[in-house]
Amino acid sequence: MFKKLNILDEKDKRLRIKSVPYTGPVSDEEKELVERMIQHLTYSQIEEYELKYDLRPGTGLAFPQLGINKRLIVIVDEYEKGKFANYVVVNPKIISHSEEMIAADAGEGCLSVNRDVDGHVPRYARVTVSGLDLDGNPIKIRAREELSIAFQHEIDHLNGILFYDRINKKKPFFSEKEMRLL
């Protein structure tokens, strides 16, 4: 049985609070919520379910978007048509990144921002993220291109940052000469 998540809107001040790290295990209720997040994100990327449940397509969600002030992110990456990789990271931290910067040519979107925002968001082309899995085991993930953008976007949520905060107000768009656009 699918039940839509209640995702906070950008006007909600809770999205601007820096989340607190986990110091103990992830609760069973939180693990169930993670499963719902994975289902929501997966369904939002499959047109049949997106239409059936009136979902906006999304790749990632962070606990703050659900009103939970804890450092946990979920990313569902469709790496091939109909094939998805799920990333769940507790206390994620970018431990290294490329010098090269990239941006999504069409700009970024967010399930908490229910409007179009024009502009390129500069991001690292490659990142390595460390953290814990749901059972408290250390994990390390290397991400590049779109997946790298998704990790940076979700980690920003944990720090009270929304993607449009990173758009240069004086120069919202870059040319291909200035930055690689995906």
Asked if 145 is an active-site residue, the reply is: no
Considering the candidates 29, 35, 146, 154, report the single residue annotated as catalytic: 154
Give per-residue burial for 118-153: e unless 16+ CB within 10 Å, then b.
ebbbebbbbbbbebbeeeeeeeebebeeebbbbbbb
Beta-carbon contacts of 111 under 8 Å, excluding residues fewer than 6 positions away, are: 7, 56, 58, 61, 65
Centre a 10 Å sphere on the Cβ of residue 169 and count the other Cβ atoms it contains: 7
Q: Which long-range contacts (CB under 8 A, 24 or more apart) does 170-174 make?
A: 172/118, 172/119, 172/120, 173/118, 173/119, 173/120, 174/103, 174/120, 174/122
Q: Give the C-alpha separation, 182 to 55, whole Å.
A: 24
Running DSSP on this structure, what letter comes out for residue 86?
E
Check: CB of residue 119 under 8 Å from CB of residue 139: no
What is the set of active-site residues? 154
